[in-house]
Amino acid sequence: MEKRVTLKIDKITEEALNIKTFTFKHALGAEPGQFIMLTDFEGGEKPFSISDCTKEEFFITVKRIGEFTARLFQKCVGDFVSIRGAYGSSFFISKNKVLLVGGGYAVPTFYFFAKVLLEAGADVTLINGARTKDEHVFADRFRELDIKVINVTDDGSFGEKGTAVDIAQKIMSQDKFDFLYASGPEMMMKALQDVIGDLNYEFLFERYMKCAIGICGNCTMDPLGLRLCVEGPVLPKEKIELLTEFGKYHRDASGKRITF
Ligand SMILES: Cc1cc2nc3c(=O)[nH]c(=O)nc-3n(C[C@H](O)[C@H](O)[C@H](O)COP(=O)(O)OP(=O)(O)OC[C@H]3O[C@@H](n4cnc5c(N)ncnc54)[C@H](O)[C@@H]3O)c2cc1C
Ligand code: FES
C-alpha cells in the first residue's frame, strides 16, 4: 500500500459553481489518469483524480456533491488533510493525433494528461464540455497549453452549443485521429462509444471505492470482475467492449446495483 501522508492545503482556487481546486506541495509522482484517496479525519475517505502533478506539487479538482465534499469546501489554506496513493492505471501516452473528450468535473484530469501528451510530441484536440457556463471548468488553464480546445455547453451559454458527444461526432467526421480518450459522466462515454467507429480509445471510469487497493471488491465491473481501483480507472477499448454493466448500472456503498 502506498504510504499515507498528511498534507497542508497550499492553495484553493474557485473554478466554477461548486467546483474548487486544492493544491498540495508534495512530490506525488503520479501518472495521468490516476487518483488519490483523501480523508479530512472527520469520517470517510474518497477518491479524487489528479488534475496536475509536477515534481513539487499536485492538485485535485472537486465538485461539491454530498456530505464529504461539502466539508472539504469549508477547508481553508493551511488546513490539513491526509492522502494515500496515487492509485490505479494511467492513460496510454500516444505520440500521434489525439482527441480528448471530457465532461464536467472529470475534465481537469485532462489538464495533467494534455501536458504529458505535449511533452511526448502528440497533436492534441480537447472537447471541454459542461451543462452550462457556470459548471464549465479549466477554460483559462487549457488556453495556456499548445492544444486545440473546443469549449462546449449543452445550453450554449459558453462555447459551442451541444453535448460533448455531438461535437466529437462532428469533429471526427471532419478530421482523422489516431486515438480518443474520454473522461466524464458514464452516459456521455456510452454515447461516445456508439459513434466512435474503429478508432482506438481509453475511457476513465468511476465506481464506488472503499479500499482502493483491490481488497474489498466494491468497485468491480461485470462480467470480468475488473477492480476499477487496480485494473482501472482507465480502461482500454478491448476491456470496455466486454463490460456488460457499462452505461447500465453501478453500485452504492453496500454493493447494491443502481441503474443509471
Ligand atoms: C476514480 C475516481 C476519481 C474521481 N475523481 C473525482 C474528481 O476528480 N473530482 C470530484 O469531484 N469527484 C471525483 N470522484 C467522485 C468523488 O469521489 C465523489 O463525488 C465523492 O466521493 C462524493 O462524496 P460526498 O460525500 O460529497 O457525496 P455523497 O453524497 O456521499 O455521494 C454522491 C455520489 O458520489 C459518488 N461517491 C460517493 N462516495 C464515493 C466513493 N467512495 N467512491 C466513488 N464514488 C463515490 C457516488 O456516485 C454517490 O452517488 C471520483 C471518483 C472515482 C471513483
Ligand atoms: S475499492 Fe476495494 S477493490 Fe476497489
Å from CA of 102 to ligand 2 middle: 24
Give strand pairing partners of 140.
none
Beta strands 148-153; 160-161: pairing state: parallel
On average, the pLDDT of the chain sits at 96
Which one, of 90, 85, 105, lies nearest residue 36 by Cα? 85
Could you tell me if residue 140 is inside a domain?
yes
- Whether 53 and 177 map to the same domain: the answer is no
User: Domain of 38: which CATH number?
Assistant: 2.40.30.10
DSSP state letter for 260? -
- Which residues, including other chains, have CB under 8 Å from residue 117's CB and lie 6 or more apart? 93, 94, 98, 124
Does the beta carbon of 33 sit less than 6 angstroms from any atom of ligand 1?
no
- Whether 66 and 138 map to the same domain: the answer is no
pLDDT for res 3: 81
Q: Is 1's pLDDT higher than 80?
A: no
- Whether 106 and 80 map to the same domain: the answer is no
User: Domain of 124: which CATH number?
Assistant: 3.40.50.80
Rounded mean pLDDT, 198-205: 97
Could you tell me if residue 92 is inside a domain?
no
Å from CA of 70 to ligand 1 middle: 12
Which tens digits make up the pLDDT trace of 165-185?
Answer: 999 999 999 999 999 999 999
- Whether 83 and 104 map to the same domain: the answer is no
Does the beta carbon of 209 sit less than 6 angstroms from any atom of ligand 2?
yes
Å from CA of 129 to ligand 2 middle: 29
Could you tell me if residue 184 is inside a domain?
yes
- Whether 130 and 249 map to the same domain: the answer is yes
- Whether 209 and 235 map to the same domain: the answer is yes
The percent of residues above 70 in pLDDT, for the chain, comes to 99
* Domain final residue pick, 53, 87, 121: 87
Instruction: Indicate the number of domains in the chain.
Output: 2
The percent of residues above 90 in pLDDT, for the chain, comes to 98
Residue 69: how many CB atoms within 10 A of its CB?
17
Distance CA 84, CA 189 (A): 28
Which tens digits make up the pLDDT trace of 244-254?
Answer: 999 999 999 99
Could you tell me if residue 58 is inside a domain?
yes
- Whether 76 and 138 map to the same domain: the answer is no
Which one, of 138, 137, 200, 127, lies nearest residue 170 by Cα? 127
Per-residue pLDDT band at 26 (split at 50, 70, 90): very high
Rounded mean pLDDT, 91-114: 97
CA-nearest residue, atom 28 of ligand 1: 66
* Domain final residue pick, 57, 87, 117: 87
- Whether 138 and 214 map to the same domain: the answer is yes
Rounded mean pLDDT, 56-69: 97
pLDDT for res 2: 65
Q: What residue has cell string 501522508?
A: 5
SS3 232: coil
Domain span holding position 236: 97-259
Does the beta carbon of 219 sit less than 6 angstroms from any atom of ligand 2?
yes
- Whether 64 and 130 map to the same domain: the answer is no
- Whether 70 and 106 map to the same domain: the answer is no
Could you tell me if residue 255 is inside a domain?
yes
- Whether 161 and 247 map to the same domain: the answer is yes
* Domain final residue pick, 37, 60, 87: 87
Report which residue type is found at 35: F
pTM of the model: 0.97
Which tens digits make up the pLDDT trace of 219-240?
Answer: 999 999 999 999 999 999 999 9
- Whether 45 and 107 map to the same domain: the answer is no
Q: Is 25's pLDDT higher than 70?
A: yes
